[in-house]
Amino acid sequence: MKKSIFKVMSDPRGFIRSLPKEKMGKVPLYLAWVIGMVYLMRQAAGFNLSFQYPFGAILIAAAILAIPFGYIILYLFTFFVYWAGKLFKGKATYSDIFSAAGYARVPEVFIVISWLILALVIGQATFTQVYLLPDLPPFITAMLYMQIVFYIWEFIITLHTIGEVQGFSAWMSLWNCILAGVIVVIISLVAQLLIAMIFSFKLYGTPSNADAEAVSLLFNLIT
């Protein structure tokens, strides 16, 4: 019987152990799409893209680019976890880590659903920094807290799936992931800074008063 990928959320180590050898080094297209979609929607909101492009165009572009972005994210993370793991004498192959890192992101299925629900509810305001505003409606706040819960869950799963293939405890896996994660974050911040400079986008952070007023006005108009 085919095992559900959601099993990884309750038994990450058992799920990874049960994967057939021929499936190691592979992640389903739909999971790569979810990973890329979550990343691109988050970036679109951080860059306030709704003030520069139509809502539908952003959503369609994200949906088209999601699969390649998903695989790029996984390949980068796998590369740094693999080499950082060598410092801790990890035993996993590159393929092992790729699958462990990919399936650990199954909780992002629920995160992408929350993004799509937000898109239905607040439309154009979805891809703005509206989430930084105080006194958000309870429903929007609930969606954001739900995302936080699933990100934490994903992080815990990652520690166990990486730990399983590396032969680590969750604590040793934590240091492996922290070292790799720091490198990935630095690369991501540099890339975002370059994009912001080239296209004159505003990076994450507290918006200016003018930005906050514009986002607030947009949110009020839509809701």
Report CA torsion sign: 104, 41, 184, 178: negative
Comparison of pLDDT for 185 and 35, the residue scoring more: 35
Contact 158, 177 (CB under 8 A): yes
Comparison of pLDDT for 161 and 197, the residue scoring more: 161
Phi-psi region of 200 (alpha: psi -120 to 50; beta: other; left: phi over 0): left
- Which pTM does this prediction carry? 0.84
Comparison of pLDDT for 69 and 90, the residue scoring more: 69
Comparison of pLDDT for 200 and 109, the residue scoring more: 109
pLDDT at 99 over 90: yes
